[in-house]
Amino acid sequence: MAVGPATVARPATRAGRAFSRRSLFEREGVFSWVMLAPGVLFLLAFVAYPFFYGIFLSFQDRRVASAGTFVGLANFVTLAHDAVFWQVTRNTFIYTIVATLLKMVGGLAMALVMNQAFRGRNLVRAFFLLPFIVPTVLSTVAWMWILDPTFSVVNWTLRNTGLMTQNFSWLGNATLAMWSIIVVNTWRGLPFYGITLLAGLQTISPDLYEAAAIDGASITQRFWYITMPVLKPILIIVTMFSVIFTFSDFQLPYVLTHGGPANATHLFATYAFDIGMSAGVLGMGAAVALAMLPALALLIVALTLYLRRE
């Protein structure tokens, strides 16, 4: 960076020096970096550093309260031979894909329903977003009680409508438990899709539909040629966001099933927690967490580029 002429000159009077200091701060580059510095340093210290430190840890045999030893790729090799790890991988993909599809379809339906004029629409919209805004852990606890093995209200309803005779163990059976965490994740995330897509729908002028209808476009054609092109960019961004955070979900499976029964609902994050925190094997835990990276990196790079293009 060039030195300004003011500093080359002889030390000026106090007023003059204050002025030159001020004019330095008035330069775009200096001003920008002075403003940025605290935040950028903070993010470097608490995001970038932990990230690289995590990579470093994953190459170590490191337990809580003891020094680590470098073991190279040993942790990853162990994981590659760990049947549970592969089950966790499969679980995470199933969870992410099924929940995302459900949220997408359900959210689109919600947006289309909400895009009709009716009294109290704003109030309904506020209610619809509640699952998304309240602390996940607390609403998940409510679901835990709804799905309780003995006192489940779902079971009570099914029993009393004669649909079944005995209780389902919603969280105790491997398949049902996976479906349970998927349904609860959908319940929580669907409003995010619904309300953002609704915001997109509201930018479409009704005249467009009318004009298309007059030209003889069918309902399906109007949907695919007017609605979808507007929704597409929104759907892409919302989906990528939601996939990133579903893929790395921790709170919901941790509270609802703790990864059980028999690892059937363990995801990368909960499995990494069990190994790294509960068992205290930091190195291996960090390796499990890093296993998320390839898929996440693809998504993050894609979305970063997409956001920047806007």
Partner 1 sequence: MVGGKGLAGRTLRLYLPLGFFLVAMLFPFYWMAITSIKPNRELYSQKIMPMIVHQPTLKHYIDLFADTNFLTWTYNTMLVAVVTTVISLALGVMIGYPLARMNFPGAAVVTIGVAATYLVPQPLLFIPMADIINRLGLSNTLSAVMLTYPTLLIPFCAWLLMGYFKSVPRELEEAARIDGASRFQAMTRVVLPLCTPGLLSAGIFAFTLAQNEFLYALIFLTQSEVRTVPVGAITELIRGDVFYWGQLMAAALLGCVPVAIIYSFFVDYYVAGLTAGSVKS
Measuring CA to CA, which residue among 92, 270, 99, 268 is closest to residue 183?
Answer: 99
The CB density around residue 46, as the number of other CB atoms within 10 Å, is 10
Residue 29 in tokens: 């580059």
How many residues are listed for the chain in this entry?
310
For partner 1, the closer of residues 155 and 263 by Cβ is: 155
Angle between helices 174-201 and 228-247 (to 10 degrees): 140
Measuring CA to CA, which residue among 179, 183, 175, 171 is closest to residue 103?
Answer: 183
Q: Provide, rounded to whole angstroms, the least separation between the CB of residue 295 and partner 1.
A: 11
Residues 6+ apart with CB under 8 A from 158: 164, 168
Q: Provide, rounded to whole angstroms, the least separation between the CB of residue 132 and partner 1.
A: 8
Q: How far is CA 150 from CA 177, 248, 264, 272, in A?
A: 15, 31, 21, 31
For partner 1, the closer of residues 10 and 131 by Cβ is: 131
| Distance, CA of 122 to CA of 131 (rounded, Å) | 16
For partner 1, the closer of residues 122 and 165 by Cβ is: 122
For partner 1, the closer of residues 174 and 223 by Cβ is: 223
For partner 1, the closer of residues 79 and 286 by Cβ is: 286
Cβ–Cβ < 8 Å for 170, 152: yes
Q: Provide, rounded to whole angstroms, the least separation between the CB of residue 136 and partner 1.
A: 6
